[in-house]
Structure 1
Amino acid sequence: MISLGCSMEISKIKAHLLKPKGVAIALLAQFVIMPLTAFSLAKILQLETIEAAALLICGCCPGGTLSNIFSLAIKGDMNLSIVMTSCSCMVGLGMMPLLLFILSHGFPGLENAVPYKGIITALALTLVPCGVGIIINHYKPKYSQIVKQAGIGILIISGIIISFLSYVAVKDLLWMIVRPGILTASALMPLTGFTLGYLLSTVCRLSPQCSRTVSMETGCQNIQLCLVILKVAFPPQVIGPMFLFPLIYITLQCAEALLLALCFRCYQTVKPPAEGASEDFEQVAVKQP
């Protein structure tokens, strides 16, 4: 998160806060599109009660830090991404209980199980290190690139280690919830978020860079919060192995986001240069002595 902060500029953050069109679109997508997608998938796939509850909780969660990382991968607007994640966490303090209350009447007590402490912690873990990165980029810009490269390296190594250890720890329980309905819902929900977030941003005439950012913010949920809510809201004899649902979801979410990032990078590699850019280059070349 410090390395992501090194990609941000104070002037651009102020611009997004003073003209919060992108933030408003992202919040609309995060707290309308994703909850309705989760609700619709639970109905269409006829999931069992506890499976539907897990999916609804996931759909009502705010955006997470993964959206910032994948926004960097697709060359999105990092200033907008961090501002959106922060606003999403703050709005989620009120919207999560409201959405869970509206969408989950069949799950008594679920509307009171929102971990406010966990949301505030997630907000602090986003803002504080990003603030450090912003300070580095503002006062010591020559060190920004070094910090960014170090951050990406640490992320890749730690991600591989944590994924391997998680699989070893829960592999025996994980297969108990690998069912067609769960896998289908886990695959379709982030894909729907990525797609509709981008389409909504394009219709609202955001720039391509901002549209890609909103797409990632919409499709990437804060899975850690989902895990906490599942463990707090349901006793072990009720939730059973379904508390591992977020692990399946985050695996498919990351796989889809990585695939989109790879496709975008390949497209950038093969696309022809813009005509205006080539003409400007020729004019500059002619003027050179």
Structure 2
Amino acid sequence: MEASFLSAVVLPVSLAIIMLGMGLSLIPEDFQRVKKYPKAVSIGLISQVVFLPMIGFMIAKIVPMQPVIAMGLMIVALCPGGVSSNIFTFLAKGDVALSVTLTAFSSLITVFTIPVLGNLAYQHFIGQTAVIALPIGATILQIFLMTLVPIGLGMVIRQIFPEIARRLVKVTNSLAVALLAVIILILIVREWSRLPGFILQVGVGVVLLNVISILVGFYISKLLKLNPPQQICIGIEVGIQNGTLAIAITAGILNNPDMAIPAAVYSLFMYVTGLIAIRYGRNLATTSSVQQPLEGQV
């Protein structure tokens, strides 16, 4: 699959629109919630930035797959949560404020972790003799321009023109979903002849990464006694990654669209687990609301 127009235009534009939409939904106070929820934010960020790459690496080592596919899976595991995780959390009756905070902070942190860990993964899976196609300085700058600048612009627009921002949020979110669908469709069409083989290789790894990461995020937060909405939020935030950013990095920055296959398959499958999480979260919210009045009567 050739990178050309897809990686040069479609990917950066679609990612910028998604990040702009996220910025339109953020206010400065969102970044101050770490003071209100230090325990929940810490658990979420550690699960996202530390445990998730470890899970991705173990899956890439255990499940048989080509090195380029393993590298693509690792990029997915290194990416932060995205707009989809915020939407899924909202629909699943999770802690939306915590979700926005985790997405914001993980997006900031991964600007630095993706180049460093991405280089290590590239050396491990592609080989020491291969050209390292993820220069740290250039990558940080590109990710900064593709993510933080649009987010900052969206926040400025919300501060100055709140009514316009509220209208634009719906438009940018809808457009982002449409653009992601177009990207995935282009990847599928261009790789149609090799797609069955890729799915055989990627399918197991993608499913394991998505499901295990959701369960790890959920049960770690449950073990550490966070409340149910926070458990749902962290499970979704750790398990639903920014697939568009992963595609932009693999097909754009790394200029290897074959590496984008795991991200494309992941971006499709995460909606399946997302729907399951929504159903579970709503059931959990109903159960919790029933139990609280009963406990108050005892």
* TM-score, length of structure 2 as denominator length: 0.73
Q: CA deviation at 1:42?
A: 1.3
1:262 is matched with: 279
Q: Specify which of 233, 236, 246 is matched with residue 263 of structure 2.
A: 246
SS in 1 for 2:93: coil
Contact residue 4 and residue 78 of structure 1 kept, 8 A = no
Q: Distance in 1 between matches of 2:112 and 2:98?
A: 22
For the pair 1:200 / 2:194, whether they are aligned, the reply is: no
Separation in structure 2 between the aligned mates of residue 265 and residue 65 of structure 1, nearest angstrom: 20
Q: For residues 33-65 of structure 1, give each alpha carbon's deviation from its aligned partner in whole angstroms, at most 9, with x where no partner exists.
A: 211121111111121111111111111112222
| Counterpart code for 1:189 | L
Partner of 1:123: 148
**Match of 1:286?**
none
Match status 1:112 vs 2:112? no
- Cα pair 1:93 1:116 within 8 Å, conserved: yes
Q: Residues of 2 paired with 1:45 and 1:200: CA distance? A: 24
Whole-Å Cα distance in 2 between the matches of residues 243 and 219 of structure 1? 18
Tell me the matched-pair count. 267
Matched letter for residue 90 of structure 1: L
Which shows bigger deviation, 259-268 or 24-33? 259-268
Q: Equivalent residue of 2:209, what SS? A: helix
Matched, 1:24 2:42: yes
**Which residue of structure 2 aligns with residue 85 of structure 1?**
103
Does residue 1:230 correspond to 2:257, yes or no? no
Query: Quick one: distance in 1 between partners of 2:230 and 2:153?
Result: 23
Q: 1:9 to 1:72 in 2, by over 3 A?
A: farther
Tell me which structure has the larger Cα radius of gyration: 1
Contact 2:72–2:261 at 8 Å: present in 1 too?
A: no
Shift of 1:17: 2.9
3-state SS, counterpart of residue 290 of structure 2: coil
Sort the Cα spacing of 1:269 and 1:133 in 2 relative to 1 into closer, same or farther, 3 A.
Answer: farther
Contact kept? 2:213, 2:238, Cα under 8 Å: yes
1:73, distance to aligned residue in structure 2 (A): 1.1
Displacement of 1:72: 1.0
> 2-side partners of 1:271 and 1:25: how far apart?
22
Distance 2:152 2:96 in 1: 13
Q: Give the drift of 1:167.
A: 5.5
Task: Give the CA deviation at 1:169.
Answer: 3.5
Q: Secondary structure at the match of 2:123?
A: coil
| Cα shift at 1:86 | 1.2
Matched residue, 1:283? none
The answer (yes or no) to whether the contact 2:92–2:282 under 8 Å persists in 1 is yes
Give RMSD over aligned pairs: 3.6
Instruction: Verify: 1:70 aligned to 2:88, yes or no.
Output: yes
Alignment check: 8 A CA contact 2:250 2:257 kept: no
Q: Structure 1 residues 20 and 57 mapped into 2: Cα distance closer, same or farther (>3 Å)? A: same
- Gap change, CA 1:90 and 1:267, over 3 Å in 2: closer
Distance 1:278 1:129, change over 3 A: farther
| Local SS of the residue matching 1:183 | helix
1:203 deviates by 1.5
Larger mean CA deviation between 21-30 and 98-107 belongs to 98-107
Contact 1:80–1:213 under 8 Å retained in 2: yes
Q: How far apart, in 2, do the equivalents of 1:103 and 1:123 lie?
A: 24
- Within a 5 Å distance, the mapping from 1:274-285 to structure 2 comes to 274=291, 276=293
Report whether the alignment pairs 1:54 with 2:104.
no
Q: Which residue of 1 aligns with 2:12?
A: none
Contact 2:24 2:157 in 1 (8 A): no
Could you tell me the percent identity over the aligned residues? 20
d(CA) in 2 for partners of 1:195 and 1:5? 27
Change (3 A) 1:72 1:92: same
Q: Is 1:179–2:199 an aligned residue pair?
A: yes
Give the whole-Å Cα distance in 1 for the aligned partners of 2:97 and 2:207: 28
Q: TM-score scaled to structure 1, two decimals? A: 0.75
Task: Tell me the distance in 1 between the aligned counterparts of 2:186 and 2:115.
Answer: 31
